[in-house]
Structures are given as C-alpha cells and as structure tokens.
Structure 1
Amino acid sequence: MALALEIVLVISAILMTVFVLLHKGKGGGLSSLFGGGVQANLSGSTTVERNLDRITVIMAIIWIACIIGLNLIQTFAA
C-alpha cells in the first residue's frame, strides 16, 4: 500500500509541476522577460485555462492526500 502511494505521489508531483508551468503568466515576471508579456493581455480566461486550473487543483489534492496517507501508514505501522 505504501509503495502504491509513493508511486502516485511521485507521478502527481511531476504532473503538478508540468501543469503549473503550462499556466499563462499573469504578471510582469519571468514570462514577460522572454516575450510572454506581449500576449498576456490579448485574451481573457479561456476554457483551456480554466480546465488547466481545475486539473492543477485536482493534482494538488491527490498530492496532499498521498502525503497524509503515507504519514498515517508510517504512524500506525510502527
């Protein structure tokens, strides 16, 4: 059980990192340094962006649940 949670934890962490990096830059940070700031104001929140937000939140919830589950297994297994 712990091995399965560890695998899901690693996969969800990698996917969450990818999904966070796919988000469109909102401020004048590093995205505008590389030319991303020019197109940031051309369109509002699209369906793709909203779905990306939802998937990122779901990945974060799965990640947190895996951490809590592994902690409970470690606590009660000893």
Structure 2
Amino acid sequence: MNFLIIALQVLVVALSIILGAFILLHKASGGGVSGMFGGGMTNSLNSTGVAEKNLTRFTIAAAVIWSVAIMGLGIITRFTGQ
C-alpha cells in the first residue's frame, strides 16, 4: 500500500508542475499573469487555433488526472489511517 501512496504523491507533484506550465502557455487574452512573462511580445510565438485547442485538451486531461489522484490519496488515507 505504501508504494501506491508514494506513486500517487509523485504523480500529484509532477502534474502540479505540468499544470502550472500548461496554464502559463495559454494565449494571453487580456493581460494577466501570462503577459508578465512576455505573453504578447512576439507574434511568431502566438498559438494557432489548433494548437490552442490541443493545449486546452491537454490541460483539462492533466487536471482530471490530478483531481483523481488527489481523491485517491484522500480515500486511501481515510481508510488506512496513514
């Protein structure tokens, strides 16, 4: 059981970092945090419609997996008392 808990904890940490990166990669629509990191400085780095849709899909998939891992950790912790 300890292996599962450690694996889920590693997954949550990795997905937290990945989600942060995915969110910052999204196209800036009105300033915000992504504008502070050079979001509107060059036009060559702007995402196309397809790239933005795929980035949104990856972000949603990572968020769902992250949520399931968090719930799994909570359920395991609740019923095993660790």
Q: How many residues align?
A: 75
- Aligned pairs for 1:9-48 (under 5 A) are 9-30=12-33, 31=35, 34=38, 36=40, 46-48=49-51
The two structures have a TM-score, normalised by structure 2, of: 0.77
Which residue of the other structure, out of 51, 56, 61, is the alignment partner of 2:64? 61
Residue identity (%): 36
**What stretches of structure 1 of length at least 5 have no aligned partner?**
none
SS at match of 2:54: helix
- 4+ residue runs over 6 A deviation: none
CA RMSD, aligned part only?
A: 2.5
**What stretches of structure 2 of length at least 5 have no aligned partner?**
none
